[in-house]
A and B are shown apart, each in its own frame.
Chain A
């Protein structure tokens, strides 16, 4: 029913825009990653693999990349541990308050990311809310200084930020489970635990995979929470990239590291898409 002209008009402008502002920039990043910087700080457009060699051989780079993945993995795990039971509670036990509680999960997302990270800083600092509270109730005599400027602070803050992102897809998956499947399981004599592990949980796996991917990928690339709360031991890979594009002025190496991150992210997206397909039941 749609003419050729209609199809061209709806297809061409977005296609052109996306090519110029997404595809070309990614291609440019790819090119940069094979270039280098001269001693006089000019970009040298000769193609070589030195940046990738640096990435794999210099411990600062690959160790920081591994540490970032470890931080992201912990954020993912904690977000799932906090998020899954809450989503399950919302879907199966919240009754009439379901909609209200669902909104309560979303509202924190409307508070600026930056502001929430900063609020954790005011909570965790050595004369912050938590430390002064602990001293006020005489639980500690001196401020606990491991709370702020540590990987702990980064993991805590990112978990806070990405937990709602895991709750939403898990909740959506749980809501899609036909309730008569659960009833059938009960009627056929399964215990509640068996019903959960054999019926409900497997059917919610696509939501778990989507939420886990969100939490891992978004925290992997974070550079603001580490700058604000991480201290020297909480530095992540994106912080290195930021400094390479700033003071250190080595765009090509920065591009190579970004591209490494992009490869990790895109392969995870493919993997999660396959997993979601494999476990979805309709």
Chain B
């Protein structure tokens, strides 16, 4: 009796706390969206003169759209690099033994937790030493390298659940490693690979600390936004952020659906 009774106020406090934390997490996002429709610019309470002007200005803003295209290129290139090297790295960690393996694992995962400034600066020194001119390419190399960690962790987790008997059967039945990889291993890892690709893509689209040091002449979207923020606040930034937020939400929902369907399919 006493346990049940004392549980009620406790869970109520937890509920209030949870509501407050969610409010804290969503307040800036709500402000962002709300003020993208505010005729009076950013700030000032209450918002009034609701308008779509900022979206109109945004759609006519060439530099922003150029930077979005640049970011997309970087994100796709980073995704290609990270998957190309991250998937084999996961296979290597799962299936091989070699001297320095523990160090290799730590090294691959390090950029995930290391402040971006260290990754960015060390790569800047590398490109400087090699005489490579900074461009979108150097940013893509930076993102790709840092995000190998994401591909490796996701795929490695997938491999832990994988039943090796299927691959063994494929090899026994005469398929070579290459065929087995594409026809058995990859299809079984479809979900972690898609998940990693989506995550790499969004992380690259939003990345700024590494890009900050590797930027050449062309801006990525976050750097374009950064440049404008330093000059002053404009609701146009709110508008572009709102669009990206909605885009990300759609991506999450699609990904979630895919996953639920796959889980229903296998279960």
Residue B222 is within 8 A (CB to CB) of chain A in the complex? yes
One digit per residue, 1 when the CB lies within 8 angstroms of any chain A CB and 0 when it does not, for chain B 1-38 equals 01100110011001101100110111111011001000
Known A110-B245, A218-B113; judge A104-B22 contact (CB<8 A): yes
Q: How far is the CA of A13 from the CA of B92 in the complex (A)?
A: 10
Residues of A within 8 A of B121 (CB): 29, 241, 245, 254-255, 258
Residue A136 is within 8 A (CB to CB) of chain B in the complex? yes
A132 and B43 within 8 A (CB): yes
Residue A275 is within 8 A (CB to CB) of chain B in the complex? no
B3 and A192 within 8 A (CB): yes
Residues of B within 8 A of A205 (CB): none
B177 and A5 within 8 A (CB): yes
A114 and B85 within 8 A (CB): no
Taking a contact as CB atoms closer than 8 A, the residue among A112, A116, A122, A136 that contacts B46 in the complex is A136
Give the number of residues in B that approach A within 8 Å (Cβ atoms): 83
A221 and B116 within 8 A (CB): yes
Q: How far is the CA of A129 from the CA of B202 in the complex (A)?
A: 29
Residues of A within 8 A of B57 (CB): none
B window 148-199: CB within 8 A of A? 148, 164, 167-168, 171, 177
Number of A-B residue pairs, CB cutoff 8 Å, is 240
Known A14-B88, A255-B121; judge A128-B46 contact (CB<8 A): no
One digit per residue, 1 when the CB lies within 8 angstroms of any chain B CB and 0 when it does not, for chain A 80-103 equals 001101101110010000000101
A265 and B117 within 8 A (CB): no
A119 and B28 within 8 A (CB): yes
Residue A202 is within 8 A (CB to CB) of chain B in the complex? no
Residues of B within 8 A of A118 (CB): 225, 229, 233, 237
Residues of B within 8 A of A191 (CB): 2-3, 6
- Most B-side CB within 10 Å, residue of A2, A122, A254: A122
A window 5-27: CB within 8 A of B? 5-7, 9-11, 13-15, 17-18, 21-26
Residues of A within 8 A of B123 (CB): 21, 25
Taking a contact as CB atoms closer than 8 A, the residue among B17, B141, B226 that contacts A86 in the complex is B17
Residues of B within 8 A of A115 (CB): 32, 225, 237, 241, 244
Taking a contact as CB atoms closer than 8 A, the residue among B45, B104, B124 that contacts A129 in the complex is B45
A127 and B17 within 8 A (CB): no
B113 and A217 within 8 A (CB): yes
What DSSP secondary structure best describes chain B's contact surface?
helix
Q: State the Cβ distance, A5 to closest chain B Cβ, in Å.
A: 7
Q: Which residue of chain A has its CB nearest to the CB of B81?
A: A17
Residues of A within 8 A of B84 (CB): 13
Interface residues on A, range: 35 or more
Interface stretch (choices A50-58, A172-180, A222-230): A222-230
B113 and A214 within 8 A (CB): yes
Residues of A within 8 A of B107 (CB): 18, 22-23
Residues of B within 8 A of A224 (CB): 208-209, 226
Residues of A within 8 A of B145 (CB): 17-18, 21-22
Q: Which residue of chain B has its CB nearest to the CB of A137?
A: B45
Q: How far is the CA of A230 from the CA of B190 in the complex (A)?
A: 44
Residue B134 is within 8 A (CB to CB) of chain A in the complex? no
A107 and B252 within 8 A (CB): yes
Q: State the Cβ distance, A159 to closest chain B Cβ, in Å.
A: 8
B222 and A2 within 8 A (CB): no
Q: How far is the CA of A256 from the CA of B84 in the complex (A)?
A: 33
Residues of A within 8 A of B254 (CB): none
Taking a contact as CB atoms closer than 8 A, the residue among B91, B126, B241, B251 that contacts A112 in the complex is B241
Residues of A within 8 A of B209 (CB): 221, 223-224
Q: Which residue of chain B has its CB nearest to the CB of A186?
A: B3
Q: Which residue of chain B has its CB nearest to the CB of A7?
A: B96
Q: How far is the CA of A7 from the CA of B93 in the complex (A)?
A: 10
Known: A29-B118, A224-B208. 8 other contacts (CB 8 A): A14-B86, A22-B122, A85-B17, A121-B233, A129-B44, A160-B25, A218-B115, A242-B212
Please list 12 pairs of residues, one from A and one from B, whose beta carbons are closer than 8 Å in the complex, sorted by A's number: A9-B177, A11-B92, A11-B98, A17-B148, A85-B17, A89-B17, A107-B249, A112-B206, A114-B226, A122-B43, A129-B44, A251-B125
Query: A residues engaging B (CB < 8 A)?
Result: 1-3, 5-7, 9-11, 13-15, 17-18, 21-26, 28-29, 32, 82-83, 85-86, 88-90, 93, 101, 103-108, 110-116, 118-123, 125, 127-129, 132-133, 136, 160, 163-164, 186, 191-192, 213-214, 217-218, 220-224, 227-228, 238, 241-242, 245, 251, 254-255, 258, 261-262, 265, 269
